[in-house]
Every structure is written in C-alpha cells, then in structure tokens.
Amino acid sequence: MRRRLALPLAAAALALPAVLTAAGPAGAAPADKPQVLSSWTQTSASSYNAWLAARNNQGAWSAYGFDWSTDYCSTSPDNPLGFPFKLSCARHDFGYRNYKAAGTFSANKARLDSALYADLKRVCANYSGATKAACDSTAWTYYHAVDIFGSAPALNGSQPVG
C-alpha cells in the first residue's frame, strides 16, 4: 500500500509549495514563477511528470499566468510512424511560449530543446529492436529540427517552430 501511495504523494508534495505561494498584488504572477517554470522544463522524467500533472490541473496554476497553448509538433506529425510524440511537443511549446513571454528565451532555448529530446527518448525507450531504432532516429530528427529551426517562422510564416 505504501508503495502505491508514494508516487502520487511525492508529485503532490512537489506541486504544493507553488500552489500555496501568495500571488501578491492583484493580477501579478507569484514571485516563484521563474522557479516553477524552470522546474517544469528540465530534462528529467520527474520534471516532465510534474509539468504533466500541472497541465492536467491548470486551474490550480491560474495565478501564474502560464501560456498552456500548443500546436503540438507544429508542421511535423504529432505521432510520426505511430510514435506518440504529441505530449513531448506540448511541453516543448510550453517552455518556448513561457520563456519568450518572460524575455529569457535565448538563455533557455538549448535546455528546452534538450528536454524535448530527453522526452522523445523516453517515449522510444518503450520499444525494442528495429522499432526502437526507428523511434530513436525520428526523435533525433525532431530534436535537430528544433535545434536548428526552433523559434524561426514556420514554412507558412504564421507560427514559429517549437
């Protein structure tokens, strides 16, 4: 019983301090917004899991004014060759949009792109053999696309890649 409760309780414990932080003046984001944003955009699985838990409970984070919008994998397939990259792309979009809004995108872009690649590799870890090799190759291609073209206007000129 303890083992089954440990993970949900640990996730709640990570999120609780930020939820309890006072928002300050009306309309102002909590002072720890940069720390929360940073904690949700690291390369680790725990960072991804904390971001996903918050994404699934956005109302609890409304005082922070995060931009949760996403176009998933932009002009690339969200599930290339059947590999479920959609949520990894959504977290990447979250990082790009919120660091751009904070004016600190350039200082964080490389880490955001690395976090995408780490997320994609975790997806690929669920496969084996030739299927895993195909997934890893596709993940590498997606990573290099955002590494090179991320934040540049997409081909249609309307949305940035990333």
Q: Residue 28: which pLDDT band, with cuts at 50, 70 and 90?
A: confident
Q: Residue 162: which pLDDT band, with cuts at 50, 70 and 90?
A: low
For the segment 119-137, the average pLDDT, to the nearest whole number, is 98
Q: Which domains does the chain have, with CATH numbers?
A: 33-59+66-162 (1.20.90.10)
Q: Which residues are catalytic?
A: 92
Does 89 have pLDDT greater than 50?
A: yes
Q: How confident is the model over 93-107, as pLDDT tens digits? A: 999 999 999 999 999
Could you write out the DSSP letters of every residue in 92-153? HHHHHHHHHHHT-HHHHHHHHHHHHHHHHHHHHTT--HHHHHHHHHHHHHHHHHHHHHTTSB
> What is the pLDDT, as a whole number, of residue 37?
98
* Percent of the chain whose predicted confidence (pLDDT) is above 70: 77
Greater confidence (71 vs 4) lies with 71
